Amino acid sequence: MAHAQSKPNWFAIWISIAAVVVIVVASVLVVWMNNTVSSGGTAPAANAVNQETGAISFGDGDTELDVYLDFMCPFCNTFEQTYGDAIDEAVEAGTITYNVDPVTILDRLSPGTEFSSRAASALCCVADAKPESALQFMRVMFDNQPAENSTGLPDEQLISIAAGVGAGDITECVTDQTFSTFVAAKGKLPDGATGTPTVVVNGEIITLTGDPNVDILDRIG
């Protein structure tokens, strides 16, 4: 007695193949996204920007001063107003290397606009276009700091501030979000930090007293 040969279920086969293809594509996409973030994305080409840490450096003194700040952080603004002049003098005197590390931990306080990330990216745009204007850009940004839980400054104002400090036209860099991935990858606090500003002198996190002489200048070797 002959037995009927069973026909392959092509529908089930094609469904299985499609499922495998989807899984493979999704896996490749996840790997690509992870590699993009971990690699830091497009980095500013200027020598003033540390490709490893994302810090923007001013001066070339022996004492290393790292300040981790968020442009939405009111305490960072207070730090700038209190310590800014003393830091400027130390940079100009050649006694410190001032590393500004923009972080983006307060994006949640600019609902829907990610102001911290946009501001940090704009700082990178300025550092890339004209490094000598970056410090003044940061100063003016804090002079115009928006309130927490606001939408922050619009891109047009970031571009205007950059032009006002002599950095030229950074419109394309800002609107294309050229350094957004770089900022996302690098904009982190160091181990042991609890918030912004975090101030590190020669690798040691210090507790601020409000006195620039005690906290910074007296530590310069």
Rg (CA), the chain: 24
Domain ranges of the chain: 8-39, 56-219
Beta strands of 63-177 (E only): which ranges? 63-69, 96-102
**CATH number for the 56-219 domain, one of 2.60.40.790, 3.40.30.10, 3.40.190.10, 3.40.1110.10?**
3.40.30.10
Residue of 130, 125, 65, 59 whose CA lies nearest to 101: 65
Residue 50 has pLDDT above 80, yes or no: yes
Distance CA 185, CA 37 (A): 6
Confidence of residue 41 (pLDDT cuts 50, 70, 90): confident
Label the pairing between strands 63-69 and 56-58. Answer: unpaired
Residue 163 has pLDDT above 70, yes or no: yes
Burial annotation 152-176 (CB, 10 A radius, 16+ → b, else e): bbebeebbebbeebebeebbebbee
Across the range 159-183, mean pLDDT stands at 97
Torsion from C-alpha of 127, 170, 175, 188, nearest 10 degrees: 10
Across the range 117-121, mean pLDDT stands at 97
**Where is 38: in which H helix or E strand?**
helix 10-39
Residues whose CB is less than 8 angstroms from the CB of residue 72 and which lie 6 or more positions away in sequence, other chains included:
106, 107, 109, 110, 115, 116, 119, 145, 146, 148, 152
Residue 35 has pLDDT above 50, yes or no: no
Residue 37 has pLDDT above 50, yes or no: no
**What is the token pair recorded at 98?**
């001032």
Distance CA 104, CA 102 (A): 7
Distance CA 67, CA 64 (A): 10
Residue of 105, 103, 114, 182 whose CA lies nearest to 154: 114
Please tell me whether the peptide bond between 154 and the residue prior to it is cis, using omega within 30 degrees of 0: no
**pTM of full prediction above 0.85:** no
